[in-house]
């Protein structure tokens, strides 16, 4: 069967920036995204194993997509990818548009996101000999290596820093439009979130008032 057009609501600025980069690299957007989505679905399942959004969390994420100004985007995807995508979404009750937005966000991974995640903007050479695979010298082989696993280095650094996968690691609330899982403690509409905020404020006040043994 031939690819089927699927409609997604993606933050307009995110899609525009991604499209600009893809075109500058001479990428055929639809086949490339189909490949990336298909490749990443197993990682989504692994990262979210045992987790499932409640409907309130899913509505909050959907509301964030509206807040940031999303646009409808049509992407031709292979039927097999669609079937697997729908299965993962159903299993974890993921906001479909948020998952695609997160994939696009990590594909671009701007410097500000690297800073948030506390990961290097460039692969550190010293790690290539210790933990990470090197990159082939031959240009076509190097492109193939990236194509086979676009998030290889990014995944390594996030896992090493946070002990979480790309689809579970917590991002700032401003990026909840790309959240694949939102716990009650991170959901602004829940009592657990308000309790967590209160505890954080009390902790900061305690730290601010404590002299940590220093003489006055």
Q: Which of 114, 118, 113, 94 is nearest to 14 (CA)?
A: 113
| Structure confidence at residue 188 (pLDDT) | 60
| Structure confidence at residue 108 (pLDDT) | 95
Prediction pTM value = 0.83
What's the alpha-carbon Rg for the chain, to the nearest Å? 20
| Structure confidence at residue 204 (pLDDT) | 53
For residue 9, is pLDDT > 70? Answer: yes
| Structure confidence at residue 35 (pLDDT) | 97
152-161 pLDDT, tens digit each: 889 989 999 9
**Top-confidence residue, 1 or 57:** 57
113-165 pLDDT, tens digit each: 999 999 888 876 555 444 556 777 788 888 888 888 999 889 989 999 999 99
160-202 pLDDT, tens digit each: 999 999 999 999 989 999 999 998 766 666 555 555 555 555 5
Number of continuous H segments (helices) and E segments (strands) in the chain: 10, 2
For residue 17, is pLDDT > 80? Answer: yes
Phi, psi for residue 106 in degrees, rounded to 5: -75, -30
Burial class of 216 by CB neighbour count within 10 A (0 to 12, 13 to 18, 19+): exposed
29-51 pLDDT, tens digit each: 999 999 999 999 999 999 999 99
Contact 72, 7 (CB under 8 A): yes
Question: pLDDT > 90: what percent of the chain?
Answer: 66
Residue 30, C-beta contacts closer than 8 angstroms, at least 6 positions apart: 3, 75, 76, 77
Contact 171, 164 (CB under 8 A): no
Q: What is the mean pLDDT of residues 64-83?
A: 96
Contact 9, 64 (CB under 8 A): no
């Amino acid at each position: 069967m031939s690819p089927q057009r699927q409609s997604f609501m993606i933050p307009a600025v995110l899609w525009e920036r991604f499209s600009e980069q893809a075109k500058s690299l001479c990428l055929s957007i639809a086949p490339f995204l189909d490949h990336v989505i298909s490749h990443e679905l197993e990682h989504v399942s692994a990262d979210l194993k045992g987790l499932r959004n409640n409907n309130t969390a899913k509505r909050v994420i959907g509301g964030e997509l509206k807040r940031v100004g999303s646009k409808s985007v049509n992407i031709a995807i292979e039927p097999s990818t669609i079937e697997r995508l729908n299965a993962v979404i159903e299993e974890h009750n993921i906001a479909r548009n948020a998952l695609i937005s997160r994939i696009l966000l990590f594909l671009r991974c701007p410097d500000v996101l690297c800073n948030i995640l506390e990961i290097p903007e460039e692969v550190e050479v010293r790690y290539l000999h210790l933990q990470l695979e090197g990159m082939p010298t031959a240009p076509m082989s190097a492109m193939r290596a990236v194509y086979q696993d676009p998030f290889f280095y990014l995944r390594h650094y996030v896992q090493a820093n946070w002990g979480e996968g790309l689809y579970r690691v917590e991002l700032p609330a401003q990026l909840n439009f790309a959240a694949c899982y939102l716990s009650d403690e991170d959901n602004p509409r829940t009592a657990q979130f308000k309790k967590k905020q209160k505890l954080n404020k009390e902790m900061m006040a305690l730290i601010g008032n404590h002299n940590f043994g220093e003489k006055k």
